[in-house]
């Protein structure tokens, strides 16, 4: 009685196996198209948009991406140098890109728009070029912070009223936070040409800090839930959280000045898809795509030839005062500064 139904449906089971095998084959065939793998910290929303736009222009190409922190990308590219996996690294500070370039991780390429960006925002050997200019801001939960309490400058964050209310992205793994911490050290550098004054500032900041989060997304979500109410982060992510995700956040631009991070792009040395990588490099930096990144994802473009009247209104409404940053001093010392912070300052109240 049991055997008959099995025999009866045996041929249907076989047909199903053949059908799913065909589907599997079809998918493999589809996936056999030339593909590009992009490593980027720019977030899945922007990456999905550029993937769709690139594939529309190049229908025979498929784009894949991994959304990672800049430090994770650096570690990964360095580890994979003998067995290259990715084609493009899109998004990291000039300092991180300079270090990676000096270690031979990039393929030189001079884009068509190379002479359309400011000096000091590209590599002299064409190993990376700047794409965006990212200001750092103070971000807060506008439901939990009264207007008269809003921090207007960096030193306001040291007020003891923020003790246990400050939450920060772990700076060891974040270009954004390393830049802010490095800028705070360099801001005090004139005192005795040593980092100690800056370390003291970071100690006071740590004393008010409740938690160091694993990434920027978690940081902004915790701020929205009032697990912390004040932080420091980059303008594009904060503005996107406010305007796209509708999180109850707001930001202030430090009155004494803020570091402007040059955010770049590079082709990974050893890519088997060099021409396609160059095509993507050019594509995401066209005026049209840079304006999309500015309008919808709050990334101010570096290119100087873009018609200012086409830029989104929000850019004209904010007053950004650049903070001077000695790039060489920063590049030569930031690793030592962060090691000291990690071992001697982090969570000092919990010791």
pLDDT 10s digits, 34-53: 899 999 999 999 999 999 99
Residue 3 banded pLDDT, cuts 50, 70, 90: very low
Residue 297 banded pLDDT, cuts 50, 70, 90: very high
Average pLDDT value over all residues in the chain: 90
What is the pLDDT at residue 233? 97
Q: How much is the average pLDDT of 270-292?
A: 97
Q: How much is the average pLDDT of 227-245?
A: 95
Query: Pairing relation of β-strands 249-252 and 166-169?
Result: unpaired
What is the Cα–Cα distance from 307 to 277, expressed in whole angstroms?
A: 27
What percent of the chain has pLDDT above 70?
Answer: 90
Strand partners, 299: none
Give me the CATH topology for the region 135-259+322-350: D-Maltodextrin-Binding Protein; domain 2 (3.40.190)
- Provide CB contacts within 8 A for 323, sequence distance 6+: 183, 187, 254, 256, 257, 258, 259, 260
CATH top-level class of 31-133+262-317: alpha beta
DSSP 324: P
What is the Cα–Cα distance from 173 to 302, expressed in whole angstroms?
A: 25
Q: Which residue has the higher pLDDT, 349 or 245?
A: 245
What is the pLDDT at residue 120? 86
pLDDT 10s digits, 142-163: 999 999 999 999 999 999 999 9
What is the pLDDT at residue 350? 59
pTM of the model: 0.83
3-state helix, strand, coil in the chain (%, to 5): 50, 20, 30
Q: How much is the average pLDDT of 118-125?
A: 93
Every domain of the chain with CATH number 3.40.190.10 lies at 31-133+262-317, 135-259+322-350
What is the pLDDT at residue 26? 45
Residue 317 banded pLDDT, cuts 50, 70, 90: confident
Q: Which residue has the higher pLDDT, 12 or 334?
A: 334
Residue 270: pLDDT above 90? yes
- Provide CB contacts within 8 A for 99, sequence distance 6+: 74, 331
Q: How far does CA 164 lie from the centroid of its chain?
A: 27
3-state SS string for 66-108: EECCHHHHHHHHHHCCCCCCCCEEEEEEHHHHHHHHHCCCEEC
Residue 31 banded pLDDT, cuts 50, 70, 90: low
Residue 33: pLDDT above 90? no
């Amino acid at each position: 009685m049991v055997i008959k139904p099995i025999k009866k449906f045996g041929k249907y089971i076989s047909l199903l196996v053949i059908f799913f095998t065909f589907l599997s084959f079809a998918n493999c065939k589809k996936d056999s198209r030339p593909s590009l793998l992009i490593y980027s910290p720019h977030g899945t929303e922007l990456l999905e948009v550029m993937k769709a736009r690139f594939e529309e222009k190049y229908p025979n190409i498929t784009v894949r991406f991994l959304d990672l922190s800049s430090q994770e990308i650096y570690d990964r590219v360095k580890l994979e140098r003998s067995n290259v996996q990715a084609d493009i690294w899109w998004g990291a500070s000039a300092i991180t890109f300079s270090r990676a370039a000096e270690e031979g991780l990039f393929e030189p390429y001079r884009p068509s728009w190379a002479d359309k960006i400011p000096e000091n925002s590209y590599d002299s050997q064409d190993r990376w070029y700047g794409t965006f200019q990212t200001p750092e801001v103070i971000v807060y939960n506008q439901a939990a912070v009264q207007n008269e309490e809003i921090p207007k400058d960096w030193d306001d964050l040291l007020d003891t009223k923020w003790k246990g209310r400050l939450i920060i992205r772990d700076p060891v793994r974040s270009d954004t936070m390393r830049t802010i911490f490095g800028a705070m050290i360099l801001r005090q550098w004139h005192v005795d040409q040593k980092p100690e004054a800056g370390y003291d500032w970071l100690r006071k900041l740590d004393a008010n800090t409740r938690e160091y989060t694993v990434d920027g997304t978690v940081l902004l979500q915790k701020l929205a839930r009032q697990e912390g109410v004040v932080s420091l982060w980059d303008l594009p992510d904060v503005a996107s959280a406010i305007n796209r995700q509708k999180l109850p956040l707001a930001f202030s631009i430090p009155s004494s000045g803020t570091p402007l991070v040059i955010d770049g792009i590079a082709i990974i040395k050893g890519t088997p898809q060099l021409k396609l990588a160059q095509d993507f490099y050019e594509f995401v930096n066209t005026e049209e795509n840079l304006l999309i990144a500015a309008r919808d994802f709050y990334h101010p473009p570096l290119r100087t030839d873009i018609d200012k009247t086409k830029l989104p209104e929000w850019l004209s409404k904010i007053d950004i005062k650049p903070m001077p940053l000695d790039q060489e001093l920063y590049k030569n010392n930031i690793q030592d500064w962060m090691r000291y912070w990690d071992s001697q300052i982090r969570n000092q109240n919990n010791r």
